[in-house]
Structure 1
């Protein structure tokens, strides 16, 4: 299997894509599909694969500069395991360019495909990459002939026992032409408008909905759930407006000091007493987590994976450390340390809202009702907080 360099994508595919297969990275004019494809190429190079990259979209130096802005650095592999064939200069340059890695007449499809196949065989490359087939499509007087040439090239490369990665901009192709050019591909992966969707694959998928949200960052295409599980991911999307608002992505937030939230919890107990106060805090936690379980159900294959992702998000957001102690069909036990807010020396449990949040999360994720309680609390002198959640029958 070939890893595509994005863990969540590899997980859905069961480890990546089959070697000697063909993969189309489809996208819009924002070119997120191109970035995703080059992340896969970089991963292949790191894994020791030899790559022939044909560049029709822009001058190779510009391509290398663009990719560096997204954390993709090909320089260590140039002239060793990576060769770039320049298919751009003789398409648009005023003077004819020459050299062993320059395609003499890219519009001559017969010569161009022959040069590509000869280079693959003679130099023993394992992966052919085309960035991208859309540029050539727009220049053809007869697009149907061009589509046939691409289909033949992809299938002939496959017959040589090589892998093919191709970028395709779906916004440019006529609908029937797009369908035709995608015929030879074993995998079709679309990256557009903040969503990665697997539309065709050789192997069975591991999730019901083969799609997930992503963000485009200086480190390339990054799944949202991984991006926000790190402090760096949160920082890159944190912005302050002149009107006094702070945003993480499209969510408005406020920086809350520990004493402020601690005083809120203490006030709840002071006004309502220990039992009613605990009930309110528990209900508050459930309310805060409405929708989280439903979202996670679309992107996680089981309860354990979903909870681990939730715990990473909690820690990245400053909520403290949660870890799974016990997991069965009917009982979940989680342990927490340094949970927000701290409240040493308090007579009542300080984090029933965490128990409510976990119960709401499990209820949405499993489709069955769960309830929970905080059975130990650091605020009351325990070494850690403990949450016991039970499925209701």
Structure 2
């Protein structure tokens, strides 16, 4: 299997893509598909594969510099396991360029594809990479002939037992041309507008909805949720506005405030003081439910494993300073969660301080499973217990 360099994508595909298969990375004008394709190429190079890369989109120096901005450094592999063909200079240069690895006339599709196939065989490469086929398409006097040439090239490379990675911008092709050019590809992966989606795969996929949210970072295309599962990732996403606001940059409409522990404890104690124990606990529980509306549905779209989904939730809680959560018991009808150093903390309070956590867990489980869950905090550090404990039960 060939890993594509993104854990979530590999997991959906059952470990990656098959050796010798053809993969189309389809994107839009932001070219995030190109970044993901090069992450896959970099992963292949680091695992010992040999790659022939044909660059039609920009000068090679510019390509290498651009990729370094996303944590992809090809320099150590050049002239060893990576060869780059310059298909750019003679498309746009004022004079004819010549030399090693320069395609003499990229618009001559017969010569260009013959050179590529000959080099693939002679150099014993594992993967042909084309960045990208859109540039050539826009320059053709007969686009249909060009599409046929790409289809022939892809199928002939496949017949050699080599893999093909190709990037293209769907916004440029009309619907019929896009469908035609994608015919020979075993895998079609769409990377656009902060969503990666598997459009085609020769094997059954491991999830109901084969898609996940991403963000482009200095380490390439990253799973968006992973940015909020570590303190470093969360801090990197905070952005202060000049008007006294702080935002999580890549979550729309998520304004945040740094809050002292005493402030939240005071709020919880005030609720109990005004409403009494039973009504106060009920309000805090409902507050927690309200805070978590939508989280379980989102998680269900990206995972079918409830234990994995809860662990992701625990990572986010720890990264955001909420404390440490651990799964103690998981059955079809009962979930028990242990918590330490939860927010707010402290000792010497007669009532549990975290009914909102219980409400959040109940809401999450209800959305994720499609069954109704309720629960309670049966132990609390604030009341002198060694740890907090939350018992959730499926009601129906």
Common fold, TM-score beyond 0.5? Answer: yes
Q: Structure 2: how far apart are the matches of 1:25 and 1:237?
A: 27
1:371 to 350, 369, 374: 374
User: Are the counterparts in 2 of residues 343 and 350 from structure 1 also a CA contact under 8 Å?
Assistant: no
Q: Structure 1: how far apart are the matches of 2:171 and 2:224?
A: 24
Query: How much does 1:235 deviate?
Result: 2.5
Deviates more, 1:164-173 or 1:279-288: 279-288
Query: How much does 1:101 deviate?
Result: 1.1
Query: How much does 1:259 deviate?
Result: 0.9
2:2 aligned residue:
2
Query: How much does 1:343 deviate?
Result: 2.0
Deviates more, 1:221-230 or 1:193-202: 221-230
1:277 to 261, 277, 280: 280
1:327 to 311, 320, 330: 330
2:104 aligned residue:
104
User: Are the counterparts in 2 of residues 246 and 253 from structure 1 also a CA contact under 8 Å?
Assistant: yes
Q: Structure 1: how far apart are the matches of 2:96 and 2:235?
A: 47
Stretches of structure 1 that go unaligned for 5 or more consecutive residues are: none
Query: How much does 1:258 deviate?
Result: 0.8
TM-score, length basis structure 1: 0.98
For residues 87-125 of structure 1, what are the alpha-carbon distances to aligned partners after superposition, in whole Å with 9 as ceiling and x for unaligned? 111111122222221111111111111111111111111
2:243 aligned residue:
243
- Equivalent residue runs for 1:292-307 within 5 Å: 292-307=295-310
TM-score, length basis structure 2: 0.97
> RMSD of the alignment, in Å?
1.1
Q: Structure 2: how far apart are the matches of 1:227 and 1:242?
A: 24
Query: How much does 1:273 deviate?
Result: 2.2
1:199 aligned residue:
199
1:45 aligned residue:
45
Give runs of ≥4 in structure 1 deviating > 3 Å: none
1:389 aligns with 2:392: yes
- The alignment partner of 1:342 has SS state of coil
Deviates more, 1:311-320 or 1:20-29: 311-320
Stretches of structure 2 that go unaligned for 5 or more consecutive residues are: none
- Equivalent residue runs for 1:54-93 within 5 Å: 54-93=54-93
Query: How much does 1:230 deviate?
Result: 2.1
- The alignment partner of 1:58 has SS state of coil
Q: Structure 1: how far apart are the matches of 2:385 and 2:47?
A: 47
Q: Structure 2: how far apart are the matches of 1:157 and 1:341?
A: 61
Q: Structure 1: how far apart are the matches of 2:181 and 2:208?
A: 27
1:287 aligns with 2:290: yes
Q: Structure 2: how far apart are the matches of 1:382 and 1:124?
A: 65
For residues 238-261 of structure 1, what are the alpha-carbon distances to aligned partners after superposition, in whole Å with 9 as ceiling and x for unaligned? 111112121113211111111100
